[in-house]
A and B are shown apart, each in its own frame.
Chain A
Amino acid sequence: MGDDLRRRAGRVLAWSALGAVAVAAVCPFVGGSGMDYGKLWRGEGPDWGIFVNLRVPRTLLAFLTGAALSTAGALYQALLRDALATPSSLGVTAAAALGAVAALALGPGDEAGFPVVWVAALVGAGVVITLVAALGQVKRFTSFTLLLTGIAVSGVCTALVLLLHSMAGLTKAFQISHWLMGGIDAVEYSVLGWLALVLVPVSWWVLRQARVLNVVSYGEAWAVGRGVDCRKITWQGFAAGAVLVGTTTAVTGPIAFVGLIVPHLLRRVLGPDHRVLLPACLFGGGAFLVVCDAISRSVLAPVEIPVGVTTALLGGPFFVWLLWSR
C-alpha cells in the first residue's frame, strides 16, 4: 500500500506537472488581439515583442500566483481543519490589500511607485500574521477563534481600504480600484525571478509537510501522541501561507476563489492525502489561473475582464454544483 501510494503520488505529480506545462505552453498564443503567427515564427515585431514581453510573463505570473494561492488554500484547510478556510481566512489578503492601497493613496502616485506597493502589501500581510501569532502565543487558540479573528481583521482592513479610497483623489481612486479588482498584468522578468525565488522554496517546504498535515486533521490530541508538535506546525504553516499569499497578492491584487475551489475540486477527485493533494494543487492551481487569465483577455476582447471576475464566475457556480452533486 505504501509503495502504491508513493507510485500514485509520483503519477499525480507527473501528470499535473505535464498538464500545467501544456496549458502554459498553449495559453500565451491565445489572446484578445489576433496574433500574426508568421511574424511570431520569424521573430518580427510587434507580435514577437507582445508575445515575449507581455504574453509569456503574464502566463508565468498567472501560473506562480495560482500555484501559490491554491497551495496556501490547501495548507490552511489542513491546519484549521476547516473545509471553508481560504488563503484570506486569517485576514492576510485583506491586510496585504490595505498595505498596497495605503501605499497607492499616500504615495507619490506615479507608476514607478509599484515596487513600493509590493513592499507595502507584504508589510501588511506580515503585520497581520505576526499579530495573530502573538495573540495565539498569549492565549490558547482554537482554529475556530482564529477563523473568527480573521473575519474581524478582514472587516477592519476592508473598512480602512474603503476609507482610503474615498479620501484619495480621482486619479488615485482609479488606481486603487484597478488594483483591488485583482489582475494578472505583464511584469518584468526580474519580478518573476524574485517571485520564483520566494515561492519555490516556501512551496517546497509546504510539500515536505504533507505527511504531518495528514495527521493534523486527526485533531491535536491524536497528533501530539504521534510526536507531532501541533502548535509549531500551525505557526510555521501560517507563516508559510502568509508568505505565499502576501507575495503574490502584492503583485496581482486580491484574486478570490482560487484557494478555495482548486483544493476542493482536487480533494474530491484525488482524496484527502496531502502527499497526493498538495503537488496536484500546486500545478492544478497554476494551470487554473493561467486558463482563467487567457479567458479574461479573450472573451470580451479588446476589453479585458479582471481575472478575479473570471475565477469567481467560473468557479462559484461550479463549486456549488460540486457541493450539491453528492
Chain B
Amino acid sequence: MKQLELVGLRFAYGGGRAVVDGIDASADGPGLIAIVGPNGAGKSTLLDLIAGQKTPVEGSCQLNGQEACAMPRAALCRLVAHVPQLVPGEIPFTVEEVVLTGRIPYGRGLFENDDDRAAMEMALRKTRLEGFRQRKFSALSGGEKQRVLLAAALCQEAPMVLLDEPSAHLDPENEAEMWELLKELKAAGKLVIVVTHHLGLAAQHCDRVWLLERGKLVADGVPCDALEAGRLERVFRVPFYWHQNAEGRVFLTYGR
C-alpha cells in the first residue's frame, strides 16, 4: 500500500475540458517531489485533488489505501497538510494563533490542549519564528507570512505536506531557507510535494519531478531526466540550457 496512489486521475470543472487528464503516479515518504509545468497545466488542481479538496471526475486518489475525497475531513487533514497559494494577508490573528489552526483536525474542543501547544512550539522552533509569536500576521512581510503558514502546516503533524508555490513572494535568502526546511521535513520522513515555477531550484533540491502539460503527466523521474532540455522546450515553448561550472554546480537557464 502506497502513501499516495493516483490511478487514471481526471478532473474537469463543470463538464469543461479536463484540467487533470488521466494521471497515474504513486509515491512514498520520505521524499521531496516538485510539480512543474506551464500556467494552466493543472498543477494546483492536482494538489487540491491529492488534498481531497476536489472530487475526481474519473479515477482515484488514494492516501494509504483510502480515497482522499471520501475521507472524513479531520482524518484527512491529519494525513495531509495543504498550504494553498492564496491566503488573505489581513488575517487579524497573531503568529501563534495562525500556527495553532493546524491543530483543528485534532479536536473540536474550544481551546487548545498541551499536545497542541507542544506541536506549536516545535513548529515555531523549526521555522525560527519563536521571536514572532505575538506579532500580528497582517503586519508581517511576505516571506515571514509564508514561513508562518508553513509552520502551521508543520503544527498539523501530517506525514504528507503539500505546498502551492510557497516561494512565489520570497527573496533569495528566504527562498533558500525554505528549501532547506523542506529537505529537513523529508529527512524527518515526510512526503513533501511542492508546486513551483523555479525549475532550477526544483532540480537542485528535489529528488523527483512531475512535469505536467495540459493536465497530463509527461515526465516523472529524477530531475536530470524529467527536466531534460529538449522536453522542457517542447512543453514550455522556450529553449532551455543546462550548464555546469568549474565547481561542478549545475544550472538551468532558458530564453533566447
Which A residues form the contact surface with B (CB < 8 A)?
1-2, 5-6, 9, 81, 208, 210-212, 214-215, 217-219, 221-222, 224-229, 271-273, 275
Asked whether, in the complex, the Cβ of A2 is within 8 Å of the Cβ of B77, the reply is no
Task: Tell me if B87 and A217 are in contact (CB < 8 A).
Answer: no
Chain A residues within 8 Å of B91, by CB: 217-218
User: Given A215-B104, A272-B92, are A227 and B76 also a contact pair (CB < 8 Å)?
Assistant: yes
Give residues in B with beta carbon < 8 Å to A: 51, 53, 73-74, 76-77, 81-88, 91-93, 96-98, 100-102, 104-105, 108-114, 116-117, 133, 149, 156
Q: Which B residues lie within 8 Å of A219 (CB)? A: 86-88
Complex: A211 Cα to B93 Cα, angstroms:
12
Nearest B residue (CB) for A272: B92
C-alpha spacing A210/B93, complex, angstroms = 14
Are A221 and B87 CB-contacts (below 8 A) given A2-B117, A227-B105?
yes
- Asked if B101 and A226 sit within 8 Å, CB to CB, the answer is yes
Cβ contact within 8 Å between A215 and B101: yes
Q: Enumerate chain B residues within 8 angstroms of A5, measured Cβ to Cβ.
A: 111-112
Q: B134: nearest residue on chain A (CB-CB)?
A: A1
Q: How far is the CA of A239 from the CA of B28 in the complex (A)?
A: 43
| B156 engages A226 (CB within 8 Å) | yes
A2 closest partner in B (C-beta):
B112
Most buried by B among A9, A208, A218, A275: A218
List residues of chain B with CB within 8 A of the CB of A273: 93, 97
Enumerate chain A residues within 8 angstroms of B97, measured Cβ to Cβ.
214, 273
A225 touches B112 (CB 8 A): no
> A227–B73 contact, CB under 8 A?
yes
Task: Tell me if A222 and B101 are in contact (CB < 8 A).
Answer: yes
B92, A225: Cβ atoms under 8 Å?
A: no
Q: How many angstroms from the CA of A221 to the CA of B162 in the assembled complex?
A: 13
Give Cα A169 to B105, complex, Å: 59
* A218 partner, pick from B77, B82, B87, B110, beta carbons under 8 A: B87
Query: Quick check: A1 and B96 within 8 Å, CB to CB?
Result: yes
Tell me how far the C-beta of B140 lies from the nearest C-beta in chain A, rounded to whole angstroms.
Answer: 14
Is chain A's interface secondary structure helix, strand, loop, or mixed overall?
helix
Extra inter-chain contacts (19) besides given A2-B117, A215-B101, CB under 8 Å: A2-B113, A5-B111, A5-B112, A81-B88, A208-B110, A211-B109, A214-B97, A217-B88, A217-B92, A218-B101, A221-B84, A222-B87, A222-B101, A224-B73, A225-B51, A225-B77, A225-B84, A226-B156, A228-B73
Complex Cα spacing A210 to B51, Å: 25
List the A side residues contacting B100 at CB < 8 Å.
2
A224, closest chain B residue (CB)? B53
Q: Which residue of B lies closest to A274 (CB)?
A: B110
Given the complex, which residues of A lie within 8 Å of B98, measured CB to CB? 218
Residues of A within 8 A of B117 (CB): 1-2
Say whether B104 contacts A226, CB under 8 Å. Answer: yes
Residues from chain A with Cβ under 8 Å of B133 in the complex: 1
Inter-chain CA distance A150–B1, complex, in Å, is 50
A-B contact pairs, 7 of them (CB 8 A): A1-B133, A211-B111, A219-B87, A226-B77, A226-B104, A227-B73, A272-B92
The 4 tightest CB contacts between A and B, nearest first, are: A227-B77, A221-B84, A225-B82, A227-B105
Give the docked Cα–Cα distance between A259 and B87 (Å). 28
Task: Name which residue of chain B comes closest to A81, CB basis.
Answer: B88
- Asked if B112 contacts A228 (CB within 8 A), the reply is no
User: What is the chain B residue whose CB lies nearest that of A218?
Assistant: B91
A212→B93 contact, CB < 8 A? no
Which partner residue on chain A sits nearest B91 by CB separation? Answer: A218
Q: What residue of chain A has the Cβ atom nearest to residue B98's Cβ?
A: A218
> Could you say which residues of chain A place their CB within 8 Å of the CB of B114?
2
Of A6, A208, A227, A272, which one neighbours B93 at CB under 8 angstroms? A272
**CB nearest neighbor in A for B103:** A226
**A278 vs chain B, min Cβ distance (A):** 10
Q: Give the distance in Å from the alpha carbon of A227 to the alpha carbon of B84 in the complex.
A: 13
Q: Which residues of B contact A224 (CB under 8 A)?
A: 53, 73, 82
Minimum CB distance partner of B80 in chain A: A225
